[in-house]
Chains A and B, each alone.
Chain A
């Protein structure tokens, strides 16, 4: 069993829809949770960064962490074609500095 599980999709939604992405994990030591966005033929770039449980909002993006369920989510509101990318979750324990990644979910937003 992988330490971080993420449905690879693909996910296709119409423009303006809400995109919901999630990851589950097994290591209860994870404290830092991140979402990366990767466009085709590019390296991943950090989208959201959260520490421990709770919600964080940044514009159209909301990240949620539920440590009791070992479950994290990313929501994209009012999705745009420019949001079409692969989204990877990543997480790490305190003071470890190594990230464990999900497999990534490929999202296509149709105009």
Chain B
């Protein structure tokens, strides 16, 4: 089984809809991250969490919110989706000892 899983893998939605992307991990890591990936822009950090009670904004948090339900679960919400939020979304985790991050398989989100 994959260490970092994301659901759904693909989602098409309409402008104005609320969307939740979910991430679960079995690596036992405290640190979790949400990124979006756009062509030519690489991976940009949306939110990150270093433990259940610690939530921090990344470089592009506007229009997004997150919830850390447990050590193993970190969800990303788009309260009112807009077309420029169409992108690949990745969840990642990292442990205590170094900065290496482990990525999930991604969610391809399309907002019409």
Query: Which residues does A use to contact B, with CB under 8 Å?
Result: 4, 6, 8, 32, 34, 36, 41-46, 49, 88, 90, 92, 96-99, 101-104
A96 to B94: give the CA distance in the assembly, Å: 12
Tell me the B41-56 residues at the A interface (CB within 8 Å). Answer: 41-45, 48, 50
Enumerate chain B residues within 8 angstroms of A90, measured Cβ to Cβ.
Answer: 43
Give chain B's interface secondary structure class: strand
Residue in chain A with minimal CB distance to B105:
A43
Is A88 a contact partner of B98 (Cβ separation < 8 A)? Answer: no
A6 to B43: give the CA distance in the assembly, Å: 12
Is B100 a contact partner of A49 (Cβ separation < 8 A)? Answer: yes
Is A42 a contact partner of B40 (Cβ separation < 8 A)? Answer: no
Per-position binary interface string of chain B over residues 5-49, scored 1 when its CB falls under 8 Å from any chain A CB and 0 otherwise: 000000000000000000000000001010000001111110010
Is A101 a contact partner of B99 (Cβ separation < 8 A)? Answer: no
With beta carbons under 8 angstroms apart, the residue of B45, B58, B99, B102 that contacts A32 is: B99
Is A43 a contact partner of B90 (Cβ separation < 8 A)? Answer: yes
Is B99 a contact partner of A104 (Cβ separation < 8 A)? Answer: no
With beta carbons under 8 angstroms apart, the residue of B43, B50, B99 that contacts A92 is: B99
11 intermolecular pairs with C-beta atoms under 8 Å apart:
A36-B103, A42-B105, A43-B90, A43-B103, A43-B105, A49-B100, A97-B31, A97-B94, A99-B43, A99-B101, A104-B42
Enumerate chain A residues within 8 angstroms of B41, measured Cβ to Cβ.
Answer: 103
Is B101 a contact partner of A49 (Cβ separation < 8 A)? Answer: no
